Amino acid sequence: MTDTPRPVPLVPLTPATFHILLAVAVEDRHGYAIIQDVAARTGGELKLSAGTLYRSIQRMLEQGLIAETQDRPAPELDDERRRYYRITPFGAAVARAEARRLTLLVKMARDRGLAAGTA
Amino acid sequence: MMRFYDLLLRLYPASFRAEYSDDMRAIWKRRRRDAAGPPAVAALWIATLFEVLFNAAAVHWDILRQDLRYTARTLARSPGFALTAMLVLALGVGANTAAFSVTDFVLIRPLPFSAPDRLVKLWEKVPGYSEMELSPANYVDWKKMSKSFDGMGAYFGASVNLVGQGDPERLEGAAITADLFPLLGVQPAMGRLFTAAEDHEGAPGTLLLSYQLWQAVFGGDAGVIGRRVNLDNEPYEVIGVMPRDFHFPSRNAELWMPTRFQEHSDDFRDRNNNYLNVVARLKPGVSLDQARAEMAVVTAQLERQFPKENHQTAASVNLLRDEVSQQSRLLLLALSGAAICVLLIACANLANLLLARGLARQRELAVRAAMGAGRERLVRQLVTESLVLALAGGALGVLVAAAALPLLARLVPATLPIAQSPSIDLRVLIFAGVITGLTGLGFGVFPAARACRQSGFRALRDGARAGGGRKERLRSVLVIAEVTASVVLLVSAGLLVRALWRIEATDPGFRTDGVLTLRTALPWPKYDQTARRAGFYTQVLSAVRALPGVSSAAYISFLPMVMRGGIWPVIPNGNTVDLQRSGAHTASLRFVTPGFFATLGIPFHRGRDVAEADSMDAPFVAVVSESFVRRYWPDQDPLGRHFTMAFHDRMVVGVVGDIRVRGLERNSEPQVYLPYRQVPDGWLIYYPPKDLVIRSAAAAGTLLPAVRRIIRRADPEQPVSDVRTMADIVEEQTASRSAQVRVLGAFAAIAFLLAGVGIHGLLSFAVSRRTQEIGVRIALGARPGGIVRMIVRQGALLAGAGVALGIALAYAAGRAMEGLLAGVRPGDAVTFASAIGLCLLMTVLGSLLPALRAVRIDAIAAIRAE
């Protein structure tokens, strides 16, 4: 591929995709860790099922949003032979684009007095 | 527990499972551990079930979309292949869909009545006739004495003149017993059916309309029930309208009235007046054979009771569904067989195409496999590709079939209680879908599995040279099969063309050019006086003869080929031939006006035409055909001889040529023509002349309005119907045959083309595969002629094998359809020679291009390429 894909066509993201990107943005995580991170951040609101998670992961891998990491954490922490995922630069760009879109939306809602915060 | 989850995971594609199932199982195990208490476990299970169903479907869909995108790209890269494959499939699916739609419509689909498989038709069986209508007296007795049936109803054809609703019109209908329609299980769309009281002598006239007649004549008026109309000058009250798709006994029926048998006079006494068609419904649990056995007992009993009238009268009981003539059945079966041949050829061709493509793509597949695509994904990709091709081809095929339907509609016999033309409905679409799917799957999975088995490193290493002898053998077998099938089709089509030509070349015995015919069926009792009819004929004929361009005109009881019956026993006086030995003693009976023979161009051999002077007061005379003379007075002067026919002694005054009354394909009885005036008032109600024939130099279109005016002047209430030229009538004889020949010819042409493409494809591939070898040969000094011979020989070997097999099968096919061949022998040399010649030509043409390409191979480049 000669030209890097542009993030814009992928935006807006599905909530699951966005949350997975957020989960792997700071550190490499395996599947169950992603589920736990999402659940913790949303206060248990969004509990990804295994199917939804790996379906999203497969698609995100193909789209180049995330990558499987080769380097593993310390063996004593790696309780099972698991796959770990990390955000790619492209994934980060897409997440940023999505965040921008959401910010813009919230700002608009705020302007009409439909969201908390100052206009 | 875990095992059940594993089972659920099987819903995911294997490639997905291979990647993620371990992780998913781990996550699920934790979830299961976290769930405390049975309700939580139950909730987890339910959630899991839905989650897996949804996500598995979603993953499949993702892959499908991916494969479709990939397919679109690969097909766009080889549009030639894609188009060829689609067209081949379209032809195969189209031919079969078309053939199925007609065959299903005529032979398979249940009749549109309730529990139609219990409906049977009953006939009288007498020596010489396998199926004869019943006499009302026998009908009543059969009905009374049999116990196998839930009900028995009868009908007979009845045409009537409708007057007072716009122009007078001639309508085809049927008189039915009141219990017939309930027996069929049909309900009127509007109004009601006949009551038993309405089906009695002297009951006021009641009438059911067909939906089509209701629309055409009554404008679909909802207030038509209760309306009074005049049929043959008798009042009838409309009591109902039948549904739009109801056709009984055939699609021509426009109206129905009760039989109103004359119980107290002739109808129930005369056992030799056979005109009733009888339908019955088998009782539940009674088989057709049981009913036949019972009817044999019943008829034997009746024969003992009426030994003279019911002499050797048995019953024949058939399923109503099977009342399709043997010829119609054979026509359709031949068509279906041909369609299957086309599909087989299409499949062979497609398999060949895909095999060749599979070989060419081996490298690509090997690369993909090397990059980690699992075997399942590769197969899936290939199957998607062939299904896409199949779907596109199948859709095109349905269009092909829809386009062919108007032609195929001619193969639907008019005698069935079904609509005129089949339609592409859900049933047909499902059929098309199934054969499309099977073809697509069969010819996707098979090469895909083959391609994948070899997509290892060997493919990468071997380059395009891969594909060993085994594969070539398989492809050769496919090509041979194609040639075989196309020989069978070519020969079958050829035999049928020869049969058609032979029939078309049959001399009907009269001249068809420039003869216009139309019918004015004079109603009774208005015209039951012979003199009154004579007045009508004289007025019409003299005015018509005076029209510009008209050279002659006459009336006859029934036109040849249109009416095949009208047969009457003959008793010759002082005959010299032993009648018992000759067996036949019937002739076709027609009343004519003077000038009939001149109008139809029937040659006059001796004596004179009937004359106006041949009236009731004059001696009764007859004009007879040559075969009549041959039968009764061979090698003698027939003029002045006497015979008795139709209640009178008659004297032969003229001899004319024979005509084909029963049509071009059947033998006809000898013909007897009587003067139209020599019939007592009210006698022979069936036989008064009704068909007007006009020989004219003017075009039918310009003549017709003038003729209509003349008839209106003679009787303003008299409808004109059945306007046709004699040429049309003769042409109609072969209409279904020529339709079949055209369809079969098209099939054969397709097969021929496909087989040619197959040979070409195989040889091209072989040449490109052997480029190096041929290069070496050329480098070593091989002559171009030798190279061409080598390639053509390969093609000729394949074609030869196919032709040899094809000839054997074609002969068998010819034997199977001998009944359709009108005397052409199944082993007709001309046909076989032409088919073989065509196949040789195809082989040469198919191998020529590859051979030329082989000759042009650049030896140095070919050797260096590897």
Instruction: Give the count of domains, chain A.
Output: 1
Residue B380 has pLDDT above 50, yes or no: yes
Q: What angle do CA B146, B150, B153 make, to 5 degrees?
A: 80
Cβ within 8 Å, pair B20-A35: no
Contacts of B12 in chain A (CB under 8 A): 51
Q: Are strands B648-656 and B604-607 parallel, antiparallel or unpaired?
A: antiparallel
Cβ within 8 Å, pair B19-A58: yes
DSSP label at B529? S
Range of the domain at A57: 13-88
Instruction: Please give the distance of CA B713 from its chain centroid, rounded to a whole number.
Output: 43
Structure confidence at residue B674 as a pLDDT band (50, 70, 90): very high
Same domain for B147 and B103 = no
Task: Report pLDDT digits (tens) over B18-44.
Answer: 888 888 888 888 888 888 888 988 988
Contacts of A60 in chain B (CB under 8 A): none
CATH number at residue A31: 1.10.10.10
Contacts of B23 in chain A (CB under 8 A): 30-32, 50, 54, 82-83
Same domain for B165 and B207 = yes
Same domain for B685 and B701 = yes
Count of positions (residues) in chain B: 866
If DSSP codes are grouped into helix, strand and coil, which group holds residue B568?
strand
Q: Return the percent helix, strand and coil in chain B, to nearest 5.
A: 55, 15, 30
Structure confidence at residue B579 as a pLDDT band (50, 70, 90): very low
Task: Report pLDDT digits (tens) over B155-181.
Answer: 998 888 888 777 888 888 999 999 999
Of B696, B718, B740, which residue is a domain's last? B718
Has residue B618 been placed in a domain? yes
- Backbone phi, then psi, for B779, in 5-degree steps? -60, -35
Residue of A nearest to B22 (CA): A82
From B430, B422, B425, B400, select the one nearest B339 (Cα to Cα): B400
Interatomic CA distance for residues B227 and B364, integer angstroms: 78
Structure confidence at residue B76 as a pLDDT band (50, 70, 90): confident
Has residue B118 been placed in a domain? no
From B340, B376, B260, select the one nearest B92 (Cα to Cα): B340
Residue B576 has pLDDT above 50, yes or no: no
Structure confidence at residue B584 as a pLDDT band (50, 70, 90): low
Same domain for B455 and B493 = no
| Maximum Cα interatomic distance, chain A, rounded to a whole number of Å | 53
Instruction: Out of B20, B48, B54, name the one closest to residue A54 (CB).
Output: B20
Our CA-based measurement puts residue B60 at a distance from the nearest CA of chain A, in whole angstroms, of 10
The pLDDT score that the predictor gives to residue B163 is: 80
Cβ within 8 Å, pair A49-B26: no
Tokens representing B35 are: 């769930």
From B126, B492, B161, select the one nearest B299 (Cα to Cα): B126
Has residue B838 been placed in a domain? yes
Same domain for B489 and B432 = no
Contacts of A82 in chain B (CB under 8 A): 23, 26
Cβ within 8 Å, pair A55-B58: yes
The pLDDT score that the predictor gives to residue B469 is: 57
Cβ within 8 Å, pair B55-A49: yes
Q: Among B167-171, B312-316, B413-417, B738-742, which stretch is predicted with the lowest mean pLDDT?
A: B413-417
Interatomic CA distance for residues B507 and B715, integer angstroms: 37
Specify whether the CB–CB gap between B241 and B186 falls below 8 A.
no
Has residue A117 been placed in a domain? no
Has residue B319 been placed in a domain? no
Interatomic CA distance for residues B55 and B17, integer angstroms: 12
The pLDDT score that the predictor gives to residue A2 is: 42
SS (H, E, C) B220-239: CCHHHCCCEEEECCEEEEEE
Range of the domain at B231: 128-311
Cβ–Cβ contact B16 with A under 8 A: yes
Of B658, B683, B718, which residue is a domain's last? B718
The pLDDT score that the predictor gives to residue B855 is: 81
Has residue B512 been placed in a domain? no
Same domain for B244 and B152 = yes
Interatomic CA distance for residues A19 and B521, integer angstroms: 88
Has residue A112 been placed in a domain? no
For chain A, what is the mean pLDDT? 84
Our CA-based measurement puts residue B3 at a distance from the nearest CA of chain A, in whole angstroms, of 16
The pLDDT score that the predictor gives to residue B470 is: 60
The pLDDT score that the predictor gives to residue B296 is: 94
Our CA-based measurement puts residue A99 at a distance from the nearest CA of chain B, in whole angstroms, of 26
Same domain for B353 and B252 = no
Interatomic CA distance for residues B400 and B307, integer angstroms: 59
B371 or B253: which leads in pLDDT: B253
**A-proximal residues of B, 33-72, CB under 8 Å:** 47-48, 51-52, 54-56, 58-59, 62
Instruction: Out of A50, A52, A82, name the one closest to residue B28 (CB).
Output: A50
Picking from B17, B20, B28, B30 by the largest number of A CB atoms within 10 A of its own CB, the best residue to mutate is: B20
Same domain for B834 and B743 = yes
* CB neighbour list of residue B485: distance below 8 Å, 6 or more residues apart: B341, B342, B344, B345, B348, B751, B755, B806
Instruction: Out of B22, B28, B55, name the one closest to residue A52 (CB).
Output: B55
The pLDDT score that the predictor gives to residue B858 is: 77
Our CA-based measurement puts residue B11 at a distance from the nearest CA of chain A, in whole angstroms, of 11
Mean pLDDT of B820-838: 88
Cβ–Cβ contact A49 with B under 8 A: yes
Cβ within 8 Å, pair B16-A81: no
Has residue B401 been placed in a domain? yes
Mean pLDDT of B3-9: 88
Cβ within 8 Å, pair B52-A51: yes
Per-residue pLDDT of chain A in tens (119 residues, 90 and over written 9): 445 566 667 888 999 999 999 999 988 998 889 999 999 999 988 888 889 999 999 899 988 999 988 766 555 555 556 788 999 999 999 999 999 999 999 999 999 988 877 64
Same domain for B477 and B406 = no
Helices (H), A31-117: 31-41, 50-63, 89-111
Specify whether the CB–CB gap between B279 and B320 falls below 8 A.
yes
Cβ–Cβ contact A14 with B under 8 A: no
The pLDDT score that the predictor gives to residue B733 is: 82
Same domain for B638 and B551 = yes
Instruction: Give the count of domains, chain B.
Output: 5
Same domain for B48 and B104 = no
Picking from A46, A58, A60, A63 by the largest number of B CB atoms within 10 A of its own CB, the best residue to mutate is: A58
The pLDDT score that the predictor gives to residue B266 is: 65
Task: Report pLDDT digits (tens) over B402-458.
Answer: 888 888 877 787 777 787 777 788 888 898 889 888 888 777 776 666 666 655 545
Interatomic CA distance for residues B469 and B32, integer angstroms: 57
Instruction: Please give the distance of CA B305 from its chain centroid, rounded to a whole number.
Output: 44
Residue B863 has pLDDT above 80, yes or no: no
Same domain for B499 and B599 = no
- Counted across chains A and B, CB pairs separated by less than 8 A come out at 51
From B377, B436, B594, B330, select the one nearest B95 (Cα to Cα): B436
Interatomic CA distance for residues A63 and B542, integer angstroms: 93
Of B671, B695, B718, which residue is a domain's last? B718
Residue of A nearest to B12 (CA): A51
Cβ within 8 Å, pair B27-A51: no
Has residue B186 been placed in a domain? yes
Mean pLDDT of B50-55: 92
pTM for this prediction = 0.73
ipTM > 0.95 for the complex: no
